[in-house]
Structure 1
Amino acid sequence: MALRKTGVILINLGSPDKPDTPSVRRYLQQFLMDWRVIDIPYLWRLLLVYGPISILRAPKSAHAYQKIWRKEGSPLVIEGHNLAKRVGEILGADYSVHLAMRYGSPSIESVVKKMLDEGVEEIRALPLYPQYASASTASSVDELTRVLNKETSFPPLRVLPDFYDHPGFIASFAEVTKTFLETSNFQPDHILFSYHGLPEHQMKSADRSKSHCLQAADCCNRITAVNRFCYRAQCFQTTFALQKALGRTHEDSSLSFQSRLGRRPWIQPYTDFELPILRQRGVKRLAVMCPAFVADCLETLEEIAIRADEDWKALGGEALTLVPSLNSEE
């Protein structure tokens, strides 16, 4: 009797194939032409992405990727493949587990084709974004359904939900953090939870009531039916849960958002603005956790471990260390 397999797709955002300007330019064009990422009219988006961004940003981003690139390739892709392999070993022979990238390689389309050729009976997709966002989670589901809709027939699809406060996620990140701080003998005065930023208007568009999001300072302090899919609110809940797991308080740990792009207001507080504030408070030794990323990537390895570290030292800070992400740890 033929083995009935369940296909599992672990979806992450993506990475260029190489850390050179042409490869990064192709990646940025694919990434930023997604209307969920830059949600302006198509013509303006086309002019922006293929104009200033392709000309000016691609070389700078390529230089940044070169700083963190491994001999085997992109850290995000390497850790993703290692994770898929380990998940497959844990689930066993009844499952076919693959990594797919929303942008770049391996593409969602190529992985779905492989699974359909294998004859899987069901496809389960896990977007590897702990917190829900239209620009990441919804975009990945968009692409997955677009690919399947090209097929005459396909097996049932199940998309697993966000896991911003899942006990397993919180416990794993807390354990990685404790182990890292102990083995590196680093005792931070403060832990900064730095998340990827998003434009404010994307938070407001997720508020179907149009009367809650960013209307009060404490609007993200708890999850309700109104802000169930609010990225900022979910980041707050992840932070609260990790603070509890690590025995931290609001005095010796805090939250911020990094990676702004463009002139429109992004969700606050900003990571680069928080660094001088923490120095003014007397913080010397700072640990930075990035719980929006399940694997280390450009935003953690270059933006935090290199650039933020340089900024911190320029401010007179004694030491800044990046706490590794979950990557493919057991």
Structure 2
Amino acid sequence: MIGVLLINLGTPDAPDAASVRRYLKEFLSDRRVVEIPQIIWQPILRGAVLTTRPAKSAEAYKLVWREDGSPLAAITRAQAMALKNAFGPGVLVDYAMRYGRPAIADGIAALMEKGCDRILLAPLYPQYCAATTATANDAAFTALAAMRAQPAIRTLPPYYADPVYIDALAASIREGLAALDFEPDALLASFHGMPERTRKLGDPYHDHCRETARLLEEALGRPIMTVFQSRFGRAKWLEPATDTTLAELPKRGVRSVALVCPGFSADCIETLEEIAIRGRETFLEAGGTAFAYIPCLNDSADGNEMLRVILARELAGWLPAT
């Protein structure tokens, strides 16, 4: 049997302060996420951060929470269900979260219990970053390190420039723009930010984001403004910042914008609350007249087909020849 484990970032179990605190403690304790010496960072985390931030974040989660739970978890679950029979008999597809539940270790164990002796780990991050792709693989390898009998493992490479991914994104954006009742003066691609220091240390994330935006420009035949969101802490982050840019654009004569988030495989608090809600407020309060957020690929037909193609490519040699 072959297993495919879709992996995404993670989410609290519920939109309340206690659940968010547990989630943030795990997330922000990851040394790939916060690269400050733990002897310095842990007192800050357990003090100011986990004392004040959970309640505020819980209110943000409440704004986007769905009947079937967190958007990120619900969409990733739907993606796994859509791919359930995509690779023929003998291939099981499941999903896991790097932080929170279902955990990666539990996902691997469940696939093995069902007879999977070969597993493709598929972190759903188009652009590689040590704080996302690498830490997902780290968690899997840590689980494997405790096993005497291990399955054969493959990992999904970043797909930031894959033509199948670019084509699916471009089609989604065209559809989103065609549905608007206005023509945006500017199209923005907002990627999750990272500290500038990570770029200097050799992380390719920034270059991957820029290349995705460049290829989207070519596919759409129109300029795209690349920005970076979700700054945290006092360190210098990748620029230009999404929130600052949205506040400045009306002053430069840009009165209407459409915004996409090509670095996210599924809509989540960073896209639905930070961009679609707070980003809209920032832009309109600064003098903008029209704002549109175009959703991620999510579990759309084009998005699921894109995942099927790139996953099937990595399964080559394991699947029976056709």
Say yes or no: TM over 0.5.
yes
State the partner residue of 1:224: none
In structure 2, how many angstroms separate the alpha carbons of the residues matched to 1:181 and 1:90?
Answer: 30
- Aligned-partner SS, 1:125: strand
State the partner residue of 1:312: 283
State the partner residue of 1:239: 213
In structure 2, how many angstroms separate the alpha carbons of the residues matched to 1:92 and 1:188?
Answer: 43
Shift of 1:277: 3.1
State the partner residue of 1:324: 295
TM-score (norm 1): 0.89
Shift of 1:114: 0.3
Q: 1:157 aligns with which of 145, 153, 156?
A: 153
Q: 1:296 aligns with which of 248, 264, 267?
A: 267
TM-score (norm 2): 0.91
In structure 2, how many angstroms separate the alpha carbons of the residues matched to 1:87 and 1:78?
Answer: 14
State the partner residue of 2:58: 62
In structure 1, how many angstroms separate the alpha carbons of the residues matched to 2:142 and 2:220?
Answer: 41
State the partner residue of 2:309: none
Aligned positions of 1:167-316 closer than 5 A? 167-206=163-202, 229-249=203-223, 253-316=224-287
In structure 2, how many angstroms separate the alpha carbons of the residues matched to 1:276 and 1:21?
Answer: 30
- Aligned-partner SS, 1:51: helix
1:201-255 per-residue CA deviation (whole Å, 9 max, x = no partner) reads 111112xxxxxxxxxxxxxxxxxxxxxx511111000000111111112xxx210
Aligned residues: 301
In structure 2, how many angstroms separate the alpha carbons of the residues matched to 1:286 and 1:110?
Answer: 42
In structure 2, how many angstroms separate the alpha carbons of the residues matched to 1:84 and 1:234?
Answer: 25
- Aligned-partner SS, 1:91: coil
State the partner residue of 2:101: 105
- Aligned-partner SS, 1:124: strand
- Aligned-partner SS, 2:83: helix
1:183-205 per-residue CA deviation (whole Å, 9 max, x = no partner) reads 34342111011110000111111
Supply the AA of the counterpart residue of 2:141. Answer: T
In structure 2, how many angstroms separate the alpha carbons of the residues matched to 1:315 and 1:267?
Answer: 23
- Aligned-partner SS, 1:101: strand
Shift of 1:263: 0.4
In structure 2, how many angstroms separate the alpha carbons of the residues matched to 1:312 and 1:299?
Answer: 16
State the partner residue of 1:209: none
In structure 2, how many angstroms separate the alpha carbons of the residues matched to 1:276 and 1:81?
Answer: 35
Q: Tell me, yes or no, if the aligned pair for 2:6 and 2:123 is still in contact at 8 Å.
A: yes
Shift of 1:88: 1.9
Q: Tell me, yes or no, if the aligned pair for 2:248 and 2:286 is still in contact at 8 Å.
A: no
Shift of 1:73: 0.5
Supply the AA of the counterpart residue of 1:76. Answer: L
1:78 matched to 2:52 = no
Stretches (4+) displaced over 6 A: none
Q: Tell me, yes or no, if the aligned pair for 2:94 and 2:107 is still in contact at 8 Å.
A: yes
1:94-122 per-residue CA deviation (whole Å, 9 max, x = no partner) reads 21111110001111011111011011121
In structure 1, how many angstroms separate the alpha carbons of the residues matched to 2:95 and 2:40?
Answer: 33
**Mean alpha-carbon deviation: is it higher for 297-306 or for 168-177?**
168-177
Q: Tell me, yes or no, if the aligned pair for 2:182 and 2:290 is still in contact at 8 Å.
A: no
- Aligned-partner SS, 2:84: helix
Structure 2, unaligned runs of 5 or more: 302-322
In structure 2, how many angstroms separate the alpha carbons of the residues matched to 1:50 and 1:144?
Answer: 26
1:266-325 per-residue CA deviation (whole Å, 9 max, x = no partner) reads 111111121233212211110011011010000000000000100111011011111100
State the partner residue of 2:306: none
In structure 2, how many angstroms separate the alpha carbons of the residues matched to 1:66 and 1:277?
Answer: 29
Shift of 1:41: 1.2
